[in-house]
């Protein structure tokens, strides 16, 4: 386990860098997690992160790539709900990295 320090607060992470406690998530935590991944969050990233958090609130799970792409396409349209767009935003691992940055558990069927 490791920890992330955000605003003088220690946030516990699992061995893969996901939050141990979902309630520890905040925009500042997301930005700090993104910085660890050498990623600057843009408005496009935030749009997906907010959508993922809504998905989790509704279904209590983090979607794998295919359901994530379909959900984004349903909510934001096919120009954003496609693998090319999401891979570009999240360094080729959209389901895993976006879930991590959104403060959600690792998708169960992602290696």
Give me the pLDDT at residue 92, please: 87
DSSP state of 110: -
SS3 14: coil
Residues serving a catalytic function are: 110
**Per-residue pLDDT tens digits for 6-28:** 999 999 999 999 999 999 999 99
Among residues 69, 52, 67, 58, which one has the least CA distance to residue 105?
Answer: 52
Q: What is the pLDDT of residue 75?
A: 96
E strands, the chain, in order: 2-6, 9-13
Domain ranges of the chain: 1-100
Tokens (6 digits) for 1: 């386990």
Per-residue pLDDT of the chain (111 residues), as tens digits, is 688 999 999 999 999 999 999 999 999 999 999 999 999 999 999 999 999 999 999 999 999 999 999 999 999 999 999 999 999 999 988 999 999 999 999 997 655
């Amino acid at each position: 386990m490791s920890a992330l320090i955000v605003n003088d607060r220690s946030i516990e992470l699992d061995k893969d860098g996901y939050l141990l406690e979902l309630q520890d998530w905040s925009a500042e935590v997301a930005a700090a997690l993104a910085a660890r991944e050498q990623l600057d969050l843009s408005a496009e990233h935030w749009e997906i992160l907010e959508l993922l958090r809504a998905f989790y609130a509704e279904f209590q799970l983090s979607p794998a790539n295919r359901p994530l792409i379909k959900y984004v396409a349903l909510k934001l349209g096919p120009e954003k709900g496609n693998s090319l767009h999401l891979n570009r935003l999240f360094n080729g691992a959209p389901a895993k990295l976006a879930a991590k940055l959104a403060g959600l558990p690792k998708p169960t069927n992602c290696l």
